[in-house]
Amino acid sequence: MFASAPDDAQFNAMYQTLASRQNSDGGLGLWMATPEADDFVTAYAGLFFVEAGERGVAVPADLVQANTRYLTTLAADLDTNALHDLRVRALATYVLTRRGQVTTNYLAGLEDALDTNFADTWKKDVTATLIAATYAQMKQDKVAEQRMQEVLARLRTPFTLENWWNGWYDDPAIQDALSMYLIARHFPKTLKALPPGAQERLVAPIEAGLNNTLSSAMTVLSLAQIADTSGAGDQLATIALEALDAKDQVQAFGDVQGWWKRGGFGVDAARVRIGQANAPTWYALVDSGFDRAPPLKENAQRIELSRDYLDDANKATTTMRQGDEIEVQLRLRSLDGSTQSNVAIVELLPGGFELVEQTATAPDPGGAVDVAARVARPGSDLVLDYLDLREDRIVLYATLRGEVRTFRYRLKATAAGRFAIPPLHAAGMYDRRVQYVGAGGATMTVTPQ
């Protein structure tokens, strides 16, 4: 979560967003403040607040107080019996314990519900690690060790794709990362006794392309805690990072920032060399910018999208006049008729165009004007979870099914010329196997007024 020095402006912007999504009970909604909060998101935010505070990052007191109030109610809720709900109750109880609350009664009710409904399975689940870590904070070490024995057995086995399942907040990568973080923080002797394969389980889903934003964040937190506990982070300065050009000329780069040694290199680099370390070490290579050439073929995995630019006669066109408007039609569906939830559709706007918004008069239940109503045009039947307007793109969040759904919006040509149309891109937020990248090469010609 905190791999480098905190950026106050970034954190302040995030706190403002969280405050806008926190309801009167202290619970957080996914996209806005709603009467029914998302329990996991609220508990996860609570863990973030605890970590931030302990690492010297200021957190607004009103956010923490409201979050504590909600988590206290959640931890005491005896009416939740689904494993997912009990898992979230365990996370809430753990966070409250980190904040200094005595949570013995919450643990008793939680374990009773788990033994009643999931006696054969819950001790293999990350729920058991959360409960063990909570007991460890209360100095009940013997009970804590007992609670996580079956989780440890699971962590000692190699990662396999055959045992993979998809879940918004609890796939194997998320469970393993959270478990390893808790073990590293509260059971340092147990961490030392685990085989290297336990840490390999953290990066295996990333190598298989199965990570998402949540599992990635939890993996970073886990590896950082492992480095803190084991002292492996002290060896970062000794690891050499070198970029080599086509003539094998070497340029060293990077410096230690928190738990990382990181830096950048130029486009002239032909390869990168990473020096050896005396402890398990992982690397990530990130590039940014735009493709030099657009993809020539579409890549459709489980979902399919198409886009048309329509003139006033509702016919597809590739030419228009400067100052005129054009309607953009997106059509979306899943390929096999399945339901694909939490799909993010990125619609990058072409250069020389601006989004045409319309006045929305109907407020949403939260009192704010619905963003989608400012953009969606007649003929749109795609039900959106959320729509994010940015300077150079719109991002739609929706569920796709077998039937074709449509989203229509308008653009205005602000400059004359021949403009490349960026390829469409969409991906599952929690399932990386769901994605679509459209073929490039399309253009729009805009003639002067």
The ranges assigned to domains in the chain are 8-232, 235-274, 299-447
* pLDDT at res. 233: 64
Residue with more model confidence, 199 or 66: 66
Residue 157, phi then psi, degrees to nearest 5 = -90, 145
Question: What does the pLDDT look like over 178-191, one tens digit per residue?
Answer: 999 999 999 999 99
CA distance 184 to 175: 14
Architecture of domain 299-447: Sandwich (2.60)
* pLDDT at res. 238: 81
Say what the pTM is.
0.81
Q: Check whether 235 has a pLDDT greater than 80.
A: no
CA distance 250 to 269: 9
* pLDDT at res. 394: 95
CATH of span 8-232: 1.50.10.20
Q: Check whether 3 has a pLDDT greater than 50.
A: no
* pLDDT at res. 174: 95
* pLDDT at res. 448: 94
Q: Where residue 84 falls among pLDDT bands split at 50, 70, 90?
A: very high
Question: What does the pLDDT look like over 336-346, one tens digit per residue?
Answer: 999 999 999 99
* pLDDT at res. 365: 46
* pLDDT at res. 259: 67
Burial 153-178 (b: 16+ CB within 10 A, else e): ebbeeebeeeeeebebbbbbbbbbbb
